[in-house]
Chains A and B, each alone.
Chain A
Amino acid sequence: GAVVSQHPSWVICKSGTSVKIECRSLDFQATTMFWYRQFPKQSLMLMATSNEGSKATYEQGVEKDKFLINHASLTLSTLTVTSAHPEDSSFYICSAEIGTSGSNEQYFGPGTRLTVT
């Protein structure tokens, strides 16, 4: 149980276009979902936290207008990279958490590799 999927697994887009990444919890309802960004050979950096039906909370330095997050339901969150540029190329990972206690486990998706040309 507790499977999180991401779609697509990889995407190539042209500079200036927008791309949407989906994150789904397949067998559970996630009260909170998280979006991370991982640069090659580096750590995961939290971009934003989202709760179903409310606006996402972005980490300092993350552009809200560039990285649009929509948590439409308890099983789906989307990240849209708007007007993508080559520096947005990265590995994007989502995770989902059950419950509202800080002791809950996060379940991670397999990630989406974005390449902007």
Chain B
Amino acid sequence: AQSVTQPDIHITVSEGASLELRCNYSYGATPYLFWYVQSPGQGLQLLLKYFSGDTLVQGIKGFEAEFKRSQSSFNLRKPSVHWSDAAEYFCAVGADTGFQKLVFGTGTRLLVSP
């Protein structure tokens, strides 16, 4: 069974600074990996996903993530954080079972300071 670890419960970043959110997964085969963002009152929004191919994945809102099989990691990055990026971020791993059964990490709350 797959599992996901997000070691940082919350992170504070200054506006304009770079961001990296960590995600480690456990899965026996090639995983499907996702990053979602959750804002209050809104549903989870998909930032990016990795299924195969290029290990550096570009997403929406200027986010990117790099799949590193050797480290079982899929860290999310953004070069310059905006105050509107403050939210809860979830990493998830899925398996091709005919439908996408996702296992989520515990999330990282991003705080952006002025």
Which positions in A face B, CB cutoff 8 Å? 4, 9, 31-32, 34, 41-46, 49, 93, 95, 97, 100-111
Taking beta carbons and an 8 Å cutoff, which residues of B are in contact with A? 9, 32, 36, 41-46, 49, 51, 90, 94-107
* B96 adjacent to A44 (CB under 8 Å): no
Q: Do B43 and A44 have beta carbons less than 8 Å apart?
A: no
Residues of chain A within 8 A of B44, CB atoms compared = 44, 93, 95, 108
Please name all residues of chain A whose beta carbon is closer than 8 Å to the beta carbon of B95 when the two chains form the complex: 102
Distance in angstroms between the alpha carbons of A110 and B40 in the assembled complex: 9
Whole-angstrom distance between the Cβ of A83 and the nearest chain B Cβ = 28
Q: Which residues of B contact A43 (CB under 8 A)?
A: 90, 104-107
Instruction: Give A82 to B90 CA distance when docked, in angstroms.
Output: 30
Q: How far is the CB of A5 from chain B (nearest CB, A)?
A: 9
Contact B104 A104 (CB under 8 A): no
CA distance A10 to B43 in the complex (A): 14
Contact A102 B49 (CB under 8 A): no
| Contact A102-B99, Cβ < 8 Å, known A42-B106, A43-B104, A43-B105 | yes
Q: How far is the CB of B75 from chain A (nearest CB, A)?
A: 18
B43 touches A106 (CB 8 A): no
- Complex CA gap A91/B44 in Å reads 13
CB-based nearest A residue for B95: A102
